[in-house]
Structure formats: structure tokens, C-alpha cells
Chain A
């Protein structure tokens, strides 16, 4: 990653050197030479800076086709009046910095965006505030860019007529950092995008997913917060995804989950916190994933395994006060559980080595029954269910008998000292 950036920097530098060094600054304001941004952009030479002063500019379809720096001073507002797309970048080396973009047009045939980047390289979009939008930042076949510190506040009500906050389509090597996305359809959406680095973002109150991967490989997302989204984070049909130190919180509803994994292979999920989700992680057809040092707190189901999941490893996780720790829908098990802490564990530790002497069985009989016949969930918290769960714990008949944690910890794992 670093290497690529340094190459990009060198390239950028050499390009700068080739150009005439007299980069001008064109000012835009009510009483300046240029009163609209479009005029200034059209008049500018490549590598000029267009400095937009404070004010409101009713403009849309601002096309940038040459390397430019578009700089907003004191947050000028660009009002698209719901007429269509607002800024379209079709050139390498463009920077958009410090604008407030409002009122993007909604269309059922075209994906209008507040800021769109098409087939370009080395772009930077930062410190922008987008409101009342359809699509926010739409990156299309564009690589080596940075999307940093933007604030996107949508007003989405229905999934069918709302767009995504930050969308990446066929992109490579993009950094998405420090953004806040609220109340759109998908907070951040990746399709066919590889080597994307998503860090320190907040994705809150979105209609569908906080973060959504489709067919995107070798990406990583770390230190993000996903809260109160329709259904948390969905990672589908992708490989080598690194998911670290994220917080998945309050994705609560009958069809909600913190993290959905579908057809994901060879990934690592570590240091994450799953708190108060209906389902912490929903796993389907995902193989060779390591789950290390995660906290599962107060979820309905901490982990729901739906089948075709092999060679996954759960180690050093804390399972705290979930209604169900693990749910399985078959008697077959090829996943390993070792050295986790389970708050429901009732065993003892006679030799005081911190590891319970009796293995823990994380799958309750009731969760097995519910998987078979979903209607039986209505007996949740009935005395009878407690009794059969207890008897199954003593002598397992229905649940996979090799599904157990041989070394359950007696105390919650402190991740920072134990890694």
C-alpha cells in the first residue's frame, strides 16, 4: 500500500514539474471576476486553484475535465436545486475540499451524485458536507484516491428511491477515512473494488447496510463504528477481507444483524465489539476465517452459523450475556472453538489455572430446535425450555457433540494484554 502511494506521489511530483509552474488562483464570489463556479472552472488552466468564497451558489452539472484544485473558503454552499448531478470529475489530479453540497436531484434512471469521479486517478475529496442527497460521493473506475473527513447526512425514507453515501464501483487503492455517513441507503458501498482501506468512519442510522461489500477482494476496514443501521455490515462474495477493531452496535430488529458474511473466504475478524445486535454475526458459506479477540455483548444470537461453513476458528473471544451464544442448523461441525470466555459457563476450575475443567457446549438445544422449527421461538423463556436446555447440557443428544470449547476461560479475556 505504502509503496503504491509513494509511486503515486513521485508521479504527481513529476507531473507538476512538467507543467508551467505559474499555477494561478481564480477567485469566485459575488463581486469577483467569476460569479459562478462553472465559469471559473472553464476559464482555469490545468493545475490552477479555484478558490470559492463563502456564499451560496445555485449550480449543477459542474464538469471538471482538467487537473484542478477546487477549494472552498468558509464552507460555501453549492445548491443543486434538485436538478441533477452537482460536481463531476473526469480528470486526474483533482482535489475538492471544503464545500457544502445540498439538494441533489433524485432520479429513477440515473444515479445522480453530489460528487462523482469518473475514470480518474489521484483525486482527493475532503472536508465536504453533503446534505439532502441522492448518491453522495460516487467513485467510478477511479483509483488511487482519498476520501477523507466528509460528513454525509441523507434524508432517506425508502430503499427504492434513495442512494448510497459513498459508493465505489470498480475502484482500486482508495482510502476512505474519517467520514461520517448518516441516514442514506447504504453508508459505504463497494462493488468490484479491491485494495480499499476503510478507516475511522462512522456509519449511523442508514436504511440498509452501514457498509456493504460485493465482489470486492483484499480490502480492510478498521476502527469504524456501525450503529443502528437497518442491517449492520454485509460482506458478500469477497476474499481476503480484514475486519479489525470495529464496533457494531444496536443493529436491532427482526431482520437485523451486526455483520453478515456470505461466501467470504480467508479473512480475519479480530478485536471487534458486537453489542446489542439481534444477531452478532450471521455466517453462511464462509470458510477459513479466524475470529480472534472479539467481544459479543448482549446480542440475541452472538453467532449464527447457517451451513457450509468449514475450518473457521473462534479463539480468545468474550461471549457476554447473549440470549444464544452459538446457533447451528446441523449436527455437523468443522469449526473450532478454543479458549473463549462464556458468561453462561457454569463449570469449575479446581487446579486454578484459569481454564475451566469441564468443556463448554455453546449450542443450546433450544437454539437447535428454533433452527429446525422457527415457530417454536414463541416458547422463549418458558420454564420447560430451561429444563430441556439443562438436560441437553448434561448429556447432548441433538446438538453436535464435538462442538465444544475444551478450554473455556474462567475470567473475561482482556484483549490488550493477552494478544
Chain B
């Protein structure tokens, strides 16, 4: 598996898209920092970008890579290699190269700006950690979708739909249910609903760390109380990890059973 991971990783590292992705983040970081001159604000804007763009790019890239390298995959399948290691290797290759583009692309300008001497270092590392988690999650989901659909168009359609659901529709449904049930106590419900969606969970985790959390008022206090404790932190990490693990398991199982 490691060999395939390495191959996929280097293959992607050499590809143009990785560089574009990397350069995009590099540019974003530089523009935000040196035109804005306010680290806290830069972190907020970055959060907005990360919770929308990272899942989108993760899904699209994952699906694209799978369909593109299909012929090579079929060639590999003819060799005496374990099936699961082929697909898992590819998955981790894609996810890791994307994460690296993100971390290095954003990290470099911040390091030059002097993040290590700033109190925002923890907010920033949280940003990178959630960004990495989101990449892992959405690439895995993309691979599951691609494995389940032979038809490229269908696969892309489902992938986009998945992103749309997580980033937009879910919040819409969430908002509607909050408004519909406004007569009931909603703290627990909103906590659970936030935990279930990795995009929302990342957003709230970052928001709570920033000054802006004071705007959240009473609800924010409830969330702060929950996520401020060790239990809350462990639970949210576990949820994010589950979001990575479960799709990975799906890849593993589907790869074993799939008929080529």
C-alpha cells in the first residue's frame, strides 16, 4: 500500500493542479496578511474560505483522480497486489498531497509574517487541523462515490450534490428546523446538529476560538461550555475522525467486492 501511496503522491506532486492549488493558498495567505495587516481578521476570512473551498476541492479532486487513473488502476489490479491497498493507497496519496498544498501554501506566508511570535498561533493551527480533516473527509467521500458509480457524469453529479448538501443545504434544513421548533429548548438539538456535519463542526470550532464568539450570545455560551471542556474537545475530534474512518472503511469494503 505504501508503494502505491508513494506513487500517487509523487504523481500528484508533479501534476499541475497541485501547484495551482498550492499557489492559490500561497497567494491568498499573502494577500490577506499583507493587505489586511490584522492577523485575527485574516484568520476569520481564511476560515470562510476553508470551510467552503476545501470540501469542494477535496470532492472534485478525489472524483477526478479516481476516474482519470482508472486505466492505471485496472493495470494494477492485474498484478498480485491486495485490492484494498491499491485504493487506500490512491486515496491517501490524493488526500495527503491536497493537505500538504493547504498546509504549506497557507503556512509559508504566515510563518514569514511571524505567526510563531503571535497569540493567534493556536487559532491558526486549529484552522490548519480542521482544514486537513475536511480534506481527508471529503476526499474519502469522493472516492466512495466514484467507486459506487461507473458513470463519470453521474459520479461528478453526486459529488457536487454531496458538497452542496454539506455546505449549504444542511444549514438550510438546520435553520428551518430551528425556526419551526423555536418554542422548544433547542440547545441540545443545535449542539447535536452541529456535531453531525463536519463543515458546521469545523466552522463552530474555529468561531468559538475567535473574538467574534461574543456575538453568539447565550447560544455561544452553551457551545463554549461544551467545546471548552475536555469532553467536548475529545468528542468533536472523535466525530471528525469518525467522518474520516467510516468512508475509508467503505472504500476498503467496496474495493474488495467491486467487479471490474
Q: Could you list which residues of chain A lie within 8 angstroms of chain B, going by C-beta atoms?
A: 252-256, 278, 300-301, 323, 369, 372-385, 387
Q: Is the CB of A369 within 8 A of B179?
A: yes
Residue-wise, chain B 47-61 has the 8 Å CB interface mask toward A (1 for contact) of 110011000000000
Pick from B22-30, B138-146, B206-214 the stretch touching chain A. Answer: B206-214
Interface size on B, residues (CB 8 A): 34
Q: Which of A301, A373, A377 contacts B216 (CB 8 A)?
A: A377
Contact residues, B202-250 vs A (CB, 8 A): 203-204, 207, 211-212, 214-221, 223
Q: Return the chain B residue nearest A279 by Cβ.
A: B215
Q: List 9 A-B contacts (CB under 8 A).
A: A278-B215, A300-B215, A373-B179, A375-B190, A376-B175, A378-B194, A379-B171, A382-B200, A384-B167
Contact between A384 and B172 (Cβ–Cβ < 8 Å)? yes
**Contacts A252-B211, A373-B182, A383-B171 given: A378-B52 contact, CB under 8 Å?**
no
Distance between B101 CB and nearest chain A CB, rounded to angstroms: 22
How far does the Cβ of A278 sit from chain B's closest Cβ, in whole Å?
5
Residues of B within 8 A of A253 (CB): 214
The answer to whether A254 touches B216 (Cβ under 8 A) is yes
Give Cα A381–Cα B213 distance, bound, in whole angstroms: 11
Contact B219 A387 (CB under 8 A): no
A sample of 18 more A-B contacts (CB under 8 A), given A254-B221, A255-B217, is A254-B220, A256-B214, A323-B215, A372-B179, A374-B217, A375-B178, A376-B175, A376-B179, A377-B215, A377-B219, A378-B204, A378-B220, A380-B215, A382-B200, A384-B168, A384-B169, A384-B171, A387-B168
Q: Are A254 and B214 in contact (CB under 8 A)?
A: yes
B179 in contact with A254 (CB, 8 Å): no
* Secondary structure class of chain B's binding surface, majority of residues: helix
Interface residue? B111 (CB, 8 A)? no
**Also in contact, A384 and B203, with CB within 8 A (given A253-B214, A254-B217):** no
**What separation, in Å, do the CA atoms of A252 and B169 have in the docked complex?**
33
* Complex Cα–Cα for A149 and B204 (A): 47
- A383 contacts across to B, CB distance below 8 A: 51-52, 167-168, 171
Chain A CB within 8 A of B186 CB: yes
Chain A residue with the shortest CB-CB distance to B169: A384
Give the number of A-B contacts (CB < 8 Å): 80
A373 contacts which chain B residues (CB < 8 A)? Answer: 178-179, 182, 186
Instruction: Judge whether A381 and B207 touch: CB under 8 Å.
Output: yes
Contact in complex: A378, B219 (CB < 8 Å): yes
CA distance A280 to B95 in the complex (A): 44
Digitize B169-197: 1 where CB-to-A-CB distance is under 8 Å, 0 elsewhere.
Answer: 10110110011001000110010001000
* In the complex, chain A residues whose CB is within 8 Å of the CB of B175: 369, 376, 379, 384-385
The residues of B that contact A300 with a CB separation of less than 8 Å are 212, 214-215
Residues in B with CB closer than 8 Å to A255 are: 217
Task: State A230–B229 Cα separation when bound (angstroms).
Answer: 25
Q: CA–CA, A318 to B97, complex, Å? A: 46
Identify which of B169, B186, B204 contacts A375 (C-beta below 8 A): B186
A381 pairs with B214, CB closer than 8 A: no
Closest to B217 in A: A254
Interchain nearest-CB distance for B34 vs A (Å): 19
In contact, A381 and B220 (Cβ under 8 angstroms): no
Closest to B174 in A: A379
Docked Cα-Cα span, A372 to B171, in Å, equals 17
**Which residues on A sit within 8 Å (CB–CB) of B47?**
381
- Chain B's closest residue to A299 (CB) is B215
A114 smallest CB distance to B (angstroms): 34
The answer to whether A375 touches B187, judged by C-beta atoms less than 8 angstroms apart, is yes
The residues of B that contact A378 with a CB separation of less than 8 Å are: 190, 194, 204, 216, 219-220, 223
Known contacts: A372-B182, A382-B200, A383-B168. The answer to whether A377 contacts B220 by CB under 8 A is yes
Bound CA–CA A254/B169 (angstroms): 29
Q: A323-B212, A382-B203 are in contact. Are A377 and B217 (CB under 8 A)?
A: yes
Residue contact A252 to B212, C-beta cutoff 8 Å: no
Residues on B with beta carbons closer than 8 Å to the beta carbon of A385 = 171, 175
6 shortest interchain CB distances as A-B pairs: A384-B171, A300-B215, A375-B186, A373-B182, A382-B171, A384-B168
Complex interface: chain A residues within 8 A of B203 (CB): 381-382
Query: From residue B105, how far is it (CB to closest CB) to chain A in Å?
Result: 22
Question: Shortest distance in angstroms between A107's beta carbon and chain B's nearest beta carbon?
Answer: 33
**Docked complex Cα distance between A373 and B175 (Å):** 10
A374 touches B215 (CB 8 A): no
| Chain A: CB-nearest residue to B218 | A374
Of listed B47, B200, B216, residue having the most chain A CB within 10 A: B216
In Å, the complex CA distance between A374 and B175 comes to: 11
Set of chain B residues within 8 Å of A256, measured between Cβ atoms: 214
Q: Taking the nearest CB of chain B, how far is it from the CB of A116, in angstroms?
A: 38
Q: How far, in Å, is B189 (CB) from chain A's closest CB?
A: 8
- In angstroms, how far is the closest chain A Cβ from the Cβ of B81? 41
In angstroms, Cα B200 to Cα A377, docked, is 13
Contact B179 A380 (CB under 8 A): no
Alpha-carbon gap, A44 to B223, bound state (A): 65
Q: Which residues from A are CB-within-8-Å of B178?
A: 373, 375-376
